[in-house]
Amino acid sequence: MILSKENKILREKTKEIRDFGSAELKLLIKKMSDAMFGEPDGIGIAAPQIGISKKIFLVAEDVLYPKRLVEEKNKTKKYLVFINPSLKNKSSKKLRDLEGCLSVRGIYGDVSRPEKITVEYFDELGDKKIRGASGLLSRVIQHEMDHLDGILFIDKTKKIIQQ
């Protein structure tokens, strides 16, 4: 079950993960992926959204191929895992775009975010990774990283659109 914006855990700073490769971590990742892919518009999810205050989020691999997001039959159930992420670089150029959230249903808002980023993180086995991102992937990573700091997109938008 995905928590809604009123839940206090969504406003907490998360704790780092140290038990790489453990059965507990594998179970957490499975619960997160099940919750994300259980929603028709799920493209990213952070652990606090399922009630776990840990520094981990998933991004649907389809984000790398935006055409798949539109074509239901081509969607996969593959995902990228980001554990203990930190932003290492961000472009000065920012882009505004509409965002929504699995924890803030029926509300959307324009959010300005850096166009390009570099993120350092660990995978589920504890291997350190560095990845550059732009476009939708950059936006989703930044959105999910905000969740790890207790921030929701509605805190950053100047104009809320309800549907």
Query: pLDDT truncated to tens, each residue of the chain (163 aa)?
Result: 899 999 999 999 999 999 999 999 999 999 999 999 999 899 999 999 999 999 999 999 989 887 766 666 666 789 999 999 999 999 999 999 999 999 999 999 999 999 999 999 999 999 999 999 999 999 999 999 999 999 999 999 988 888 7
Residue at 151 is within a domain: yes
- In the chain, how many domains are there? 1
34: helix, strand or coil: helix
Contact 3, 48 (CB under 8 A): yes
Residue at 1 is within a domain: no
Domain with 127, as residue range(s), is 8-162
Residues annotated as part of the active site: 144
What are 30's two structure tokens? 């499975």
Percent helix / strand / coil, the chain, rounded to 5: 30, 35, 35
Count CA within 13 A, CB hemisphere, residue 7. Answer: 16
Contact 82, 91 (CB under 8 A): no
Residue at 3 is within a domain: no
Euclidean distance between CA atoms 145 and 138, whole angstroms: 11
Residue at 138 is within a domain: yes
Residue at 107 is within a domain: yes
Q: Residue 123: what pLDDT?
A: 97
Residue at 133 is within a domain: yes
Q: Residue 66: what pLDDT?
A: 72
CATH, residue 128:
3.90.45.10
Euclidean distance between CA atoms 105 and 151, whole angstroms: 16
